[in-house]
Chains A and B, each alone.
Chain A
Amino acid sequence: GAVVSQHPSRVICKSGTSVKIECRSLDFQATTMFWYRQFPKQSLMLMATSNEGSKATYEQGVEKDKFLINHASLTLSTLTVTSAHPEDSSFYICSAGVFTVETQYFGPGTRLLVL
């Protein structure tokens, strides 16, 4: 099946620093990847849609200057949380569509803790 990896799996950083999270499709090419955020005991909230070779599309309420997305190749998308604050602490999950955009396969997630 389609495998999506994320790195790192968990990260702890100081307030004010930036954190980069990588999302890779290991055995397929993904022209579109998605970034989600999940708070404890909550559902997944879409942050942005990452398109290879073009700018990401952000959901309403998500600051594009704070959550920088780069989709440099068909197998890699990165999310950078800039000037992280404690309220940015969350579980960040990426996904990629295989044959169709709507059938998404998810990465294992990255748990971010900002102190």
Chain B
Amino acid sequence: GQQLNQSPQSMFIQEGEDVSMNCTSSSIFNTWLWYKQDPGEGPVLLIALYKAGELTSNGRLTAQFGITRKDSFLNISASIPSDVGIYFCAGHSGNTPLVFGKGTRLSVIA
């Protein structure tokens, strides 16, 4: 089945630093989604990407849908303590269910 490789698995950064994480797939997706999950909560949709090459921002977050349709990245600029959490990428194509990456656990040191 389809699989997503998400990296890095975890990150420890200083407050104010920029963060970058990415997902790659062995197959093509038509939609890329980025979610953030806080402990004990459900994932919250951050950014949805629908077109290859699309670059979308949501505040300090920027995500891009790779030209090959097999990858996507998420950048967070000027990180703050509330950015702490687990970030998941998810891809969708055709009639198959959403496929999730294994998550990037972000820790921000004040």
Tell me the A residues contacting B by CB distance below 8 Å. Answer: 4, 6, 34, 42-44, 46, 49, 59, 91, 93, 95, 100-109, 111
Contact = CB atoms under 8 A, between A and B. Distances in A.
A103 B45 CA distance: 8
B31 A44 contact: no
Contacts of B43: 44, 93, 106
B70 interface: no
A102 B42 contact: no
Given A43-B88, A44-B100, A102 B41 contact: no
Interface of B: 30-31, 33, 35, 40-45, 48, 88, 92, 97-98, 100-103
Contacts of B98: 34, 46, 102, 104
A59 B97 contact: yes
Given A34-B97, A43-B103, A109 B41 contact: yes
A109 B40 CA distance: 7
Contacts of B48: 103
A46 B2 CA distance: 13
26 contacts: A4-B42, A6-B42, A34-B97, A42-B102, A43-B101, A43-B102, A44-B43, A46-B97, A93-B42, A93-B43, A100-B31, A102-B30, A103-B33, A103-B45, A103-B48, A104-B33, A104-B45, A105-B45, A106-B42, A106-B44, A106-B45, A107-B42, A108-B41, A108-B42, A109-B41, A109-B42
B45 to A, nearest CB: 6
B100 A49 contact: no
B104 to A, nearest CB: 11
Contacts of A44: 43, 88, 100
Given A34-B97, A107-B42, 10 more contacts: A43-B100, A43-B102, A44-B43, A44-B100, A93-B43, A103-B31, A103-B33, A106-B35, A106-B44, A111-B40
A100 to B, nearest CB: 8
Contact of B31 (A4, A34, A42, A102): A102
Nearest to A44: B100
Contacts of B31: 100, 102-103
